Amino acid sequence: MRWRFLFPVLVALLGACASQPSLQAPPPSTATPAPPRDAATAAAIETVLASEHRSAENRARDAQRHPLETLLFFGLVPDMTVVEVWPGAGGWYTEILAPLLAEHGKLYTAQLTPAPENPFVTSSLKNFADKLAAHPVLYGKVEVTTLGVGAPIAPAGSADLVLTFRNVHNWMSLGIAKEAFEAMHQALKPGGILGVVEHRGDPAKPQDPRAASGYVNEEFAIDLIQSVGFELVDRSGINSNPEDTKDHPQGVWTLPPNYRLGNRDRAKYEAIGESDRFTLKFRKK
């Protein structure tokens, strides 16, 4: 496999962008057994996770976001064409995916639709663009596209893998969830994989169509995604958190890293940790 020769290039690439002292990467979670591993890809991911280009804040979240296990579960390998949909202002996963794919693969990041009248959208897009521009060695090959303006998120039928992390509730709040997944379906090759991580709602409660709490019931998401031409092929407990009661005053944003209540009951929510999340793997029919 040609990505087995990625490591010298990857190490050099990451070393060129070092901006802070090296920190010891947090150990992988032992809460859920890891899926079978592609050893070469696992080693490449671990190299990126330990790299100095990642901020201490982002690296500290590895223990709760489980990027190594999550990307291996979705079947990522470094010569794929990958689309990350709505990477957010900080591009938490982008800073992992971009160096992994830079040498032999391709990364598209499908962003928010520009909205000059919306300060949040404008700020988010600027912060992401600034991040990419500040490190051209890492991000110079990333192609930024847009979800939601009629243009494709990637050339039709070109992607091996489409990924989105904790965004379904956003699309539900905007009433565009079905259209978002249709765009992902269009971008994927036949048989291509869609990986979805989202805050898992309480199945005993009916799903709020707008997902105002940030939580989405797992079966609701599965039905929605399968309705546009995907089939569920696997699910994982990698990102589950049984301590999350899902009844917080400010919804999922009560929990870290947002702490929307500020210092009120902060120790309580810190002990709970980040949200309980489902991790679903679909295939394009």
Q: Is residue 22 part of a domain?
A: no
Domain count within the chain: 1
Q: Tokens 């009248």 label which residue?
A: 117
Q: Is residue 56 part of a domain?
A: yes
Q: Is residue 20 part of a domain?
A: no
Containing structural domain, residue 175: 2-13+31-284
Kindly report the pTM of this predicted structure.
Answer: 0.88
pLDDT higher than threshold 90 for residue 279: yes
**Tens of pLDDT along 59-74?**
999 999 999 999 999 9
Q: Is residue 215 part of a domain?
A: yes
Q: Is residue 112 part of a domain?
A: yes
H/E segment holding residue 281: strand 277-284
Q: Is residue 26 part of a domain?
A: no
pLDDT higher than threshold 60 for residue 115: yes
Q: Is residue 25 part of a domain?
A: no
Which of 110, 33, 105 has the alpha carbon at shortest distance from 76? 105
Residue spans of alpha helices (H) in 61-159: 62-65, 67-74, 94-101, 119-134, 136-139
* CATH (domain of 83): 3.40.50.150
The pLDDT score that the predictor gives to residue 150 is: 75
The DSSP call for residue 35 is P
What are the strands of the beta sheet with 81-85, ordered from one edge? 143-146, 106-111, 81-85, 159-165, 188-199, 277-284, 230-236
Q: Tokens 């690296």 label which residue?
A: 59
Q: Is residue 23 part of a domain?
A: no
Bridge partners (DSSP) listed for residue 107: 82
**Tens of pLDDT along 196-248?**
999 999 999 999 999 999 999 999 999 999 999 999 999 999 999 999 999 99
| Stretch among 4-8, 35-39, 66-70, 75-79 having the lowest mean pLDDT | 4-8
**Tens of pLDDT along 265-277?**
999 999 999 999 9
